[in-house]
Amino acid sequence: MFSGCSGLTSLDVSGFDTSNVTSMTWMFSGCSGLTSLDVSGFDTSNVTSMEGMFRGCSSLMSLDVSGFDTAKVEYIDDVRKLVEEHAQSENALQPKTYDLIRGSINHWDLAAGDKIKALLHMYAEIMIQPACFTGSIKVFEDCIDRFVKFRNTTTHGNYMKVTGELADTAANLMNLIYISRLDRIGVPRNVIKDRICVGVVYR
């Protein structure tokens, strides 16, 4: 849309309705004159491609993409490339700033939590039992949300107390991962469930 507009020094996209947009490929690519760009109001819930979206925007002094929903995006690696390019440009910010940005990219939205929940539903018959988790799936999902929030908060350098629930959730998620791996290598689910029941899944 604005690709190659190197003469632009400012751009107001606050009124853009992006709720039905599926591709933002090369949207601001080559806009090397932009020093600021506010895309905080963008609805990216249906976007599947962000390839080259900010490539070449070497004059940007800041860029807030913390609110981007990237659950459907297939080209997150390209956004990472943008960050690395900017870190090497003449307008590079403090190194710690890029560490925070990299961490933010890794934990955009709760897509990770959604994937964990999908895995939970896949193996609910094994996980929801006395040897693993005695609560309901809904209770487990709530625990996952709190665990993901804890992980994201601490990743960004903020303190949160480690509770017994968080520790239990971490252990249960390890169980879930092992169950998934055993299933993928062909171990019958009834065998996995029996091993879980006697507490030997880690052996």
| Predicted confidence (pLDDT) per residue in 152-194, tens digit | 777 666 777 888 888 888 888 888 888 888 888 888 888 888 7
Residues 99 and 120 in one domain: no
Residue 150 lies in a domain: yes
Residues 81 and 137 in one domain: no
Supply the range of the domain harboring residue 129.
111-197
Residues 41 and 92 in one domain: yes
Residues 50 and 102 in one domain: yes
**Is the CB of residue 63 less than 8 Å from the CB of residue 38?**
no
Distances (CA, A) of 3 to 6, 77, 83, 85, 199: 8, 19, 18, 17, 57
Q: What is the mean pLDDT of the chain?
A: 78
Residue 203 lies in a domain: no
pTM comes to: 0.43
Amino acid 119: pLDDT: 80
Among candidate residues 75, 109, 143, the one where a domain is terminated: 109
Residues 139 and 102 in one domain: no
Residues 162 and 83 in one domain: no
Residues 5 and 96 in one domain: yes
For range 55-71, the mean pLDDT: 77
Domain count, the chain: 2
Residues 37 and 117 in one domain: no
**Is the CB of residue 8 less than 8 Å from the CB of residue 2?**
yes
95 contact partners, CB below 8 Å, separation of at least 6:
87
For range 98-111, the mean pLDDT: 60
Among candidate residues 70, 92, 109, the one where a domain is terminated: 109
